[in-house]
């Protein structure tokens, strides 16, 4: 069953938020396990804010020595396994990336975000080389404005399109997304269990 992780070395880029949005949307149709592999535990905190649909389970990773088993256990139980990673390189991050079928790299439209996305792409490539397989990755523009793009924003898009695959979908900056961390639940209304 597919394992999708969310990684970038830029803190606050939108990893946890994108994981929540994708996880809760997928859970409308199938079983999803979300692994919180960030010591800051923001995904776990989100999961405690409001009741989750029965098709979503959030599991806290016990750390680098356990992550591989946690992923295989989750794969046996659910159709999709999503992993929320911390914003800095660590053995835990490396192990999770190595086990992933897709790594989503959220990025804002600022130079620091783009630099971090490029750094993360390089890290994914290194992991892939070590494992002798290409690990698919995709950049997701997050926290973007729905308005017409500025010159700088267009430049950042072009730069990232040169170095990696960029998703057509963007996660625009919306109060509905930031309030997930305050009210819990998913982007769509949670159906009662
Ligand atoms: N699409 C969005 N619209 C509005 N706010 C957003 C969006 N994406 C993220 N945010 C806000 O930006 C902040 C950082 O987002 P998030 O926690 O998802 O980033 P992160 O990459 O997981 O951060 P960290 O590296 O600290 O784990 C949060 O306060 C969140 O509410
Ligand atoms: Mg996070």
Instruction: Report the predicted TM-score, pTM, of the whole model to 2 decimal places.
Output: 0.96
Residue 189 is predicted with a pLDDT of: 60
Q: With a 6 A CB cut-off, is 117 part of the ligand 1 pocket?
A: no
Q: With a 6 A CB cut-off, is 15 part of the ligand 1 pocket?
A: yes
Greatest pairwise CA separation for the chain in angstroms: 47
Atom of ligand 1 nearest to the CA of 19: 18
Ordered domains of the chain (ranges, CATH): 3-178 (3.40.50.300)
Mean pLDDT over each residue of the chain, to the nearest integer: 95
Q: With a 6 A CB cut-off, is 157 part of the ligand 1 pocket?
A: no
Residues 6+ apart with CB under 8 A from 26: 32, 79, 80, 82
pLDDT, tens digit, for every residue of 119-140?
999 999 999 999 999 999 999 9
Higher per-residue pLDDT: 120 or 187: 120
The span from the CA of 1 to the CA of 72, in Å, is: 9
């Amino acid at each position: 069953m597919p394992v999708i992780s969310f990684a970038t070395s830029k803190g606050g880029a939108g990893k946890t938020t994108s994981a929540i949005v994708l996880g809760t949307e997928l859970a409308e149709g199938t079983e999803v396990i979300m692994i919180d592999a960030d010591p800051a535990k923001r995904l776990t905190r989100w999961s405690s804010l409001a009741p989750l649909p029965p098709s979503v389970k959030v599991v806290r990773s016990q750390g680098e020595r356990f992550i591989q088993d946690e992923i295989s256990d989750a794969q046996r139980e659910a159709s999709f396994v999503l992993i929320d990673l911390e914003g800095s390189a660590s053995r835990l991050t490396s192990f999770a990336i190595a086990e992933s079928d897709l790594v989503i790299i959220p990025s804002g439209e600022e130079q620091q975000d783009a630099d971090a996305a490029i750094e993360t792409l390089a890290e994914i490539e290194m992991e892939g080389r070590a494992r002798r397989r290409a690990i698919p990755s995709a950049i997701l523009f997050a926290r973007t404005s729905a308005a017409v793009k500025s010159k700088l924003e267009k430049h950042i898009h072009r730069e990232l399109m040169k170095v990696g695959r960029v998703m057509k979908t963007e996660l625009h900056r919306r109060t509905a997304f930031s309030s997930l961390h305050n009210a819990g639940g998913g982007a769509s209304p949670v159906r009662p269990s």
